[in-house]
Structure 1
Amino acid sequence: MIHGVQVIDTAEMYGDGNAERLVAHAIKPYNREELFLISKVLPSNASKKQIPVSVENSLKRLNTDYVDQYLLHWRGPIPIEETIEALEKVKSQDKIKSWGVSNLNVDDLEKIMKLPDGIKCESNQVRYNLGDRGIEFDLMPMMNKLEMPLIAYAPVARGDRLGTNLTKQKVLKEIAKKHHATIFQILLAWCIRNGQTIAIPQSSKTAHVIDNVKAAEIQLTQQDLRQIDSVYPKPSMKQPLALW
């Protein structure tokens, strides 16, 4: 493990494959079996013909024999039935240990669950943070019922997206001070508060990565959560899935 971090998320799209090469370099000194690597296939490559090619290319770039979880990056023109069939085939070859999806909403998951191998979908990676709480209305309850883990990208929302400068938000400042933490650590702690969410914050600095890891030690109180809800309320109606 790297400072206690086991999950590393990447994709064939990131940097045209260079992100996977960078991950390979970063994990080289560590025990591969202690890490959980996630990569993603582009929708244009999510066919029976192309998924095996994409998987092989990712494995070469990552310098590993297998990926722990392989996700469909978002829905595209290729039928989801074909994509799942291809994912199951590469899984049977031990090139991926499991598969999931990304940026899929309730309707898409309902369709997947009706397919013979749909129940084998092991995660959904979506944008989730204080400024993007829409999934709490219907998608998150559905995933909880299915016992499907949520992988939250962009868990530390940008201030402009929330309509305020987070570092100056009074409630967040008070809660951060109470827990001897930074506001960004509070945002991460909030995101993973239910124990069923994996947050994958992006950072290019070692110190920030270590700070992010420490956020897992913060236990927000019910009072903290009520204060946060008063500023960033839960959704009261269905909302479009937040993207990017």
Structure 2
Amino acid sequence: MRVRSFGSIGHRVPVIGQGTWRIDDGARAEAIATLRAGIDAGMTHIDTAEMYGDGEAIVGEAMQGLREEVFLVSKVVPSNASRRGVARACEASLRRLRTDRLDCYLLHWPGHHPLDETIAGFEDLRRDGKILSWGLSNFDVDDLDQALRIAGPYRIACNQVLYHLGERAIEHAVMPWCAHHGVALVGYSPFGSGDFPHPASPGGVLLARIAERHGVTPHAVALAFLTRFQNTFTVPKTSRPERAARNAQAGDLVLAEEEVAAIEVEFPRGPRPRTLPML
């Protein structure tokens, strides 16, 4: 599994991690087994959030005995993101996760609390050792500029955004901004939230052909494409241990230039949208 620097904070993190949105929809035992299989396969970056229902508690149970191996990320909802609210929300997440710290703590999306209050809350938690770093999610360039003005350089660990083959809007401005400022870019919903290319479609045929060449799945090809840049990571979610192992194959897959070019043609990034796409 390839690892790379997570922005400018010094951590080395696997390029392929594990998302946990709606992981509590299925059987709890299988969800835990899936997360553990992913950790065993090298996907030690686990992403969760306070709004993910029972997701944090499932992650906490899955991590027992493995906490030191995991790069753990959670998120605060904007309604809780006042300076004091961030502290309360973080303490609640730590209890559910059964740990004493987060490796990174994110603001889930821009909200109504002043951003300087949220960042001050993050810095309080960092000084207290409750979090080791903090970042953002669903932030467009204007919001990122504001955060940078408030926090200063080399404080924002990452920006987590929607990124899959059918939604490449971040490549216009958000991705270059993050690369320029030493901020890791983490793509969520890399399989398109149930809208992965159908095997019989032209795009599906292309992915299958590339996958066969490398002995991996079409999903692994998509993940390799999404992490082709040096500051990019992705956190696919699955509820099946065998699928977690197959997703992890993308961590060692480097696509040839002609394969990347073919995927870019089949799944064009399109024009820059007026607003940042998000789920």
Question: Normalized against structure 1, the TM-score is what?
Answer: 0.93
Matched, 1:80 2:115: yes
Number of the residue aligned with 1:40 = 75
Matched, 1:13 2:51: yes
Number of the residue aligned with 2:62 = 26
- Structure 1 residues 10-40: Cα deviation after superposition (integer angstroms, max 9, x where no partner): 001001xx2111111101032x222110000
One-letter code aligned to 2:63: I
Range that drifts further, 135-144 or 173-182: 173-182
Q: Is the 8 A contact 1:69 1:96 kept in 2?
A: yes
One-letter code aligned to 2:275: P
- Structure 1 residues 82-116: Cα deviation after superposition (integer angstroms, max 9, x where no partner): 10011101110000000000000000001111114
Structure 2 distance, partners of 1:11, 1:206, is: 21
Q: Alignment partner of 1:225: what SS?
A: helix
Number of the residue aligned with 1:61 = 96
Number of the residue aligned with 1:198 = 233
Structure 2 distance, partners of 1:239, 1:181, is: 36
Matches within 5 A, 1:35-184: 35-117=70-152, 119-158=154-193, 160=195, 165-166=198-199, 168=201, 169-184=204-219
Number of the residue aligned with 1:223 = 258
One-letter code aligned to 1:228: I
- Structure 1 residues 168-220: Cα deviation after superposition (integer angstroms, max 9, x where no partner): 42222221121122111111111111132111001111111111111111110
One-letter code aligned to 1:71: L
- What is the aligned-residue RMSD (CA, Å)? 1.6
Structure 1 distance, partners of 2:151, 2:101, is: 24
Range that drifts further, 113-122 or 76-85: 113-122
Q: Alignment partner of 1:204: what SS?
A: coil
What percent identity do the matched residue pairs reach? 37
Structure 2 distance, partners of 1:86, 1:212, is: 35
Structure 1 distance, partners of 2:157, 2:105, is: 10
Question: Normalized against structure 2, the TM-score is what?
Answer: 0.81
Q: Is the 8 A contact 2:168 2:269 kept in 1?
A: yes
Unaligned residue ranges in structure 1 (runs of 5+): none
Unaligned residue ranges in structure 2 (runs of 5+): 1-38
One-letter code aligned to 2:266: V
Q: Is the 8 A contact 2:75 2:105 kept in 1?
A: yes
Structure 2 distance, partners of 1:155, 1:219, is: 17
Structure 1 distance, partners of 2:45, 2:239, is: 16
Structure 1 distance, partners of 2:118, 2:146, is: 13
Aligned length: 239
One of 40, 53, 58 as aligned partner of 1:2: 40
Q: Is the 8 A contact 1:72 1:100 kept in 2?
A: yes
Q: CA deviation at 1:234?
A: 3.1
Q: Is the 8 A contact 2:154 2:182 kept in 1?
A: no
Q: Is the 8 A contact 2:188 2:235 kept in 1?
A: yes
Structure 2 distance, partners of 1:59, 1:93, is: 13
Q: CA deviation at 1:237?
A: 3.4
